[in-house]
Amino acid sequence: MFEFFLLIGITMLLGFAAVLIFERTKISQALLLMLFGILLGPVLHLVDYSQESLMRELSPLIGTLALVVLLFDGGITLNLFRVIRAVPRAFAFTLLSFAITAMAVCLLMNFAFGWDYLYGLLLGAVVGGTSSAIVIAMVQKSAADEDIRALLTLESTITDALCIISAFLILQLLQAKEASILVAANLLLSAFSIATFLGVLGAIGWLLAMPRLKGKPFFYMLTIAIVFIIYAISDASGGNGGIAVFVFGLILGNVKMISKIVPINQRYYPDPSLALFQEEITFFIRTFFFVYLGLLVIPASLDAPMLSMSLAVLIVIILSRQAATGLMFRKDTYQVRGLVGTMLPRGLAAAILATLPAQNGIVLPYFFEIVLICILLTNVIATAGLFVFSRKKPPAQNSQKENGNHAPSSNTVAKIGKK
């Protein structure tokens, strides 16, 4: 029993060390912690990482928990007005990048490896989007411009929904031949609209309840309880729970800024302890989430055919991302294009979706393994991209005056979130 607690303690210390390493070198915490997970399971066998282990059976629960907490954290730390400004571009880039990637992977698997088009499209849908949990963790404390941080956060949040909905629709096509483009469009529209409505409604209701709860014990835990309830209601209502949680956090974290437009009494401002507690719990969840991803890797399945497929898919993902970035960001700076083009990490959502074919009786050799290799290698690429393209600008170039508009700096937003 003592080994278990020793392992938890070492993992948390490593998580703290990974944060310090990231601040000094820009080497992603995600990559370091995933490598530690690989060391614990596949290498040293200190944790059961087999296909039949309890760790894998719990993956939907672990993935959802991490997603909910990290999306809420992403919401309360972002500038609402920057997000609103980034929405049109983020939606366009997300749809373009996802569509190019999914179709390119589909064509690759058909022409190069003989897969049926729908099977290739299923793989493309699973690996077609970035991971919100990983992207948020990577860009949150980076030196990237806040507009780009907002765009990348929105993109990763949207693609979580795109990947899930697309994968299930393709499975429906494979099994019942009943899904259609119209059905997909309706599902996406309803998922986003329902989620946004519930996120806004939940935030307003919680802000109204706050004056009576400030100073009470367990205020933060009550807020997290509301976060889980909003996620569950949105998911049960046909909305996307992640979007609802993100919107809820976005409003809570920007009450002071919203009050400049809509008069809001100060007694409705969130308790200052909220941001402090959220930072602590996010660190805990993020650390174990990335270690868990490393535990999913199974070395016995890493043979030559699987590796060749995985590398081919990875190359297609990179080229697709570069194509979408070139089309949408051709007028931006080299640093912006480089950061957006390399910020392509896949995460636990892809790993969970990778189990769908087997669960539905569809046998596709190496499907799960290809996805896991892409998760690992895309995180390596994102780490390198963050290191190269997210360096701090000289003070003269870091002015917040853009076309005459005085936008709040990222430091200002951070201070607001902590007040």
pLDDT in tens, 266-280: 777 777 777 778 888
Class of domain 2-180+283-392+406-418: mainly alpha
Residue range 135-167, pLDDT digits in tens: 888 887 677 788 888 899 889 888 877 887 788
Reported confidence tier of residue 320, pLDDT bands at 50, 70, 90: very high
* pLDDT 10s digits, 189-219: 777 888 889 999 999 999 888 888 777 777 7
- The per-residue pLDDT for 152 is 92
Rounded to the nearest angstrom, the gap between the alpha carbon of residue 331 and the centroid of all alpha carbons in its chain is 26
With beta carbons less than 8 A apart as the criterion, state whether 28 and 386 touch. Answer: yes
Q: What is the 3-state secondary structure (H, E, C) of 224-289?
A: HHHHHHHHHHHHHCCCCHHHHHHHHHHHHHCHHHHCCCCCCCHHHCCCCHHHHHHHHHHHHHHHHH
Residues in the chain: 419
Model pTM above 0.85: no
Instruction: Give me the mean pLDDT over the 353-365 stretch.
Output: 79
Which pLDDT score, from 0 to 100, does residue 95 have?
92
8 A C-beta contact, residue 14 and residue 35: no
Distance between first and last Cα of the chain: 41
Give residues with Cβ within 8 angstroms of 252, minimum separation 6: 75, 76, 203, 206, 207, 223, 270, 274
Are residues 98 and 318 in contact, defined by beta-carbon separation less than 8 angstroms?
no
Domain ranges of the chain: 2-180+283-392+406-418
Q: Taking 80 as the threshold, does the pLDDT of residue 383 lie above it?
A: yes
pLDDT at 71: 80
Distance (Å, whole) CA 160 – CA 183: 18
Mean per-residue pLDDT for 180-184? 65
Chain mean pLDDT for the chain: 80
| CB atoms closer than 10 angstroms to residue 208 | 10
Alpha-carbon distance of 323 to 325, in angstroms, equals 5
CA distance 287 to 277: 16
User: Which pLDDT band, with edges at 50, 70 and 90, does 2 fall under?
Assistant: low
pLDDT of 402: 41
